[in-house]
Amino acid sequence: MGTTAPYDYTHLEIDQRDGVLTVRLDRPDDYNAINHDLHTELIALWGQIRRDRQVRAVVLTGNGRAFSAGGNLKGPRMSAGPELDAFFQDARSIIIELLELPQPIIAAVNGPAIGLGATLALMCDVVYASTDAVIADPHVTVGVVAGDGGVVAWPWLTGMARAKEYLLTGDKVGAVEAERIGLVNRVIEPSALLDQAHALAHRLAESPVRAVQGTKAALNIILRDTANLVLDTALATEKECFASGDHARAVEAFLAERETLKAAARTPA
């Protein structure tokens, strides 16, 4: 039997109907940046979906103008120790448990998907992106290794050469280019994005469940094997970077530049 517990989360907006669960990352004032609480909620959510036999397909999107801005750079930075260790164990769990979800999951990338936000989208089974979506994994620009799944997803989707280019530079990829190089399946006008994602989700939900879930499970063995091969090393080196002065200085410079740009935008011409 499926779970009867309600989907009750602070930073996730959940809607369930006709076998399709719609999950909206819900920190729109901070561009759905993934803070510690949202980290924890995502892990709990994947487990709850896995147990819920009433859910046969999932749509993942963001509230507001962004899919997700990735890690929460504005929060307090953790130093080496148990808290940082637990944070990175959670980071691993978010990726592995997402890959192990039996139900197909469609990402509806409604705006920027950055860092861990990009990883969440790219680890989904099908990725639809709005025309104004942007995808990037700029870990290196804030002084850390791209350890939270980018090293798993990008090489399989784009090939190793392009993955190295984008992960080593942190450059952004617009929606049309993302479709061309294989990061996303389809680019859709913003007004139609969710409708088309839901149409596919309902189609999959109405298909033979064992066939759909078995096919997904077989395909995801490839991604899970890659994740198990590289995640521990990638996350360990990312954790070392978090505790370094390079990361702290890079974050301070990034936040200062962002505040300068915001101030310039508020200043009348």
Residue 200 belongs to a domain: no
Name the maximum alpha-carbon separation found in the chain: 62
Alpha-carbon distances, residue 100 vs 147, 175, 205, 231, 233 (angstroms): 19, 27, 18, 15, 20
pLDDT digits (tens, 9 = 90+) for 110-160: 999 999 999 999 999 999 999 999 999 998 888 888 877 889 999 999 999
109 strand-pairing partners: 129
pTM: 0.89
Averaged over 176-194, what is the pLDDT?
A: 98
CA atoms within 13 A on the CB side of 202: 9
CATH number, domain with residue 29:
3.90.226.10
Residue 214 belongs to a domain: yes
Determine contact, residues 143/240, Cβ cutoff 8 Å. no
pLDDT digits (tens, 9 = 90+) for 3-34: 447 899 999 999 999 999 999 999 999 999 99
Determine contact, residues 187/131, Cβ cutoff 8 Å. yes
Residue 255 belongs to a domain: yes
pLDDT digits (tens, 9 = 90+) for 79-114: 556 766 677 677 788 999 999 999 999 999 999 999
Locus of tokens 């009750």: 8
Residue 197 belongs to a domain: no
Residue 72 belongs to a domain: yes
Range of the domain at 253: 12-192+209-266
Q: Amino acid identity of 80?
A: A
Alpha-carbon distances, residue 172 vs 31, 148, 167, 213, 240 (angstroms): 17, 17, 10, 33, 25
The total domain count for the chain is 1
Can you tell me the distance from the alpha carbon of 178 to that of 140, in angstroms, rounded to the nearest whole number? 20
Residue 226 belongs to a domain: yes
Instruction: Give the H/E segment covering residue 187.
Output: strand 186-188
34 strand-pairing partners: 71
Residue 256 belongs to a domain: yes
Residue 102 belongs to a domain: yes
